[in-house]
Amino acid sequence: MKIVETIAETRAFLDAVRAQHRSLGFVPTMGYLHDGHASLIRRARAENDAVAVSIFVNPLQFGANEDLAAYPRDLERDAKLCESEGADIVFAPSVAEMYPSPNPFSIVVGDIGNKLCGRTRPGHFDGVATVVAKLFNIAGPCRAYFGAKDAQQLVVIRRLARAFDFPVEVVGCPIVREADGLAMSSRNVYLEPAEREAALVLKRALDEAAAAVRQGERDGRRIAEDIAARISSEPRARLDYAVCADPETLDDVERVEGAALLAVAAWFGKARLIDNMTVTP
């Protein structure tokens, strides 16, 4: 497996893959890889002839008071995981390689980026869209794999690919959870043991809401309020949001008649965690 830091070398490697008529699976990440990322790489491996992983902690998607400096990093360990899961190349650029200008151009995603996480993370999805657009440009035609835990991110990236006609098939992959239900996240390392235990309330609240829908609950506002109340009943949780939303537009759903996205975000100590579940009546 090759580890490269430059855009030029990455392009040359991936162009050579396509010149041999081999399909490419691409897994963009911010590193500090866990089993969720491993499952994306495995899926890319199973569905393509070659696999590229990018590892880049993208400063544009962090707000001024967020954890950019503290974000966990371990390239050596990540590279081993990529190799053991069968990646062919890891692209791990520096910030200067990705953003040579101190005032980089940015994509503005608009309304879809201002909902859910965007309410408390202004500009976050502009930063995500900008780096993903660059990564898609660098990777070229491929299938790109993203986890469904970042449900809003997946919606934004699908729209991005359509809006700019990237020759990229965006593949959403299921959330990977720890044995006790906690959704895997690089930010779980911030959790103290008691906070980690408390964070299980996210999945429990979603499970209870899904059970309510199965039993006939259709009132979107009540579903969202019940999820919020359940999470807020946990003393260590500081709720950001709980919604019952349309999976495509992310607008609140009044009556659950088709698929609905139940999505939550809450703080546990230093960690802001998100989780979601799609329910269908």
Of 21, 34, 37, 124, the catalytic one is 37
Q: Which residues contact 170 (CB under 8 A, 6 or more apart)?
A: 144, 146, 154, 157, 158, 161
Considering the rule CB under 6 A, would residue 191 count as an interface residue with ligand PAF? no
In the range 74-133, which residues lie near ligand PAF by CB under 6 A?
A: 128, 131-132
Choice between 30 and 256, CB closer to ligand PAF: 30
User: Rule CB under 6 A: is residue 29 a binding residue for ligand PAF?
Assistant: yes
Contact stretch for ligand PAF (CB under 6 A) within 23-31, 42-50, 78-86, 89-97: 23-31
Single residue of 25, 28, 123, 140 touching ligand PAF by CB under 6 A? 28
Measured from the CB atom, the residue of 10 and 153 that comes closer to ligand PAF is 153
58 near ligand PAF, judged by CB under 6 A: yes
Cβ nearer to ligand PAF, comparing 132 with 199? 132
Among residues 248, 247, 184, 256, which one has the least CA distance to residue 226?
256
Known catalytic membership, residue 37 = yes
Taking CB under 6 A as the criterion, the residue among 3, 17, 30, 107 binding ligand PAF is: 30
Q: Which is nearer to ligand PAF, 117 or 242 (CB)?
A: 117
Distances (CA, A) of 19 to 11, 23, 24, 145, 236: 12, 10, 11, 22, 54
Residue window 149-188: x/- pattern of binding to ligand PAF, with contact defined by CB under 6 A: -x--x-----------------------------------
List of residues contacting ligand PAF (CB under 6 A): 28-30, 58, 61, 128, 131-132, 150, 153
Q: Which residues are catalytic?
A: 37
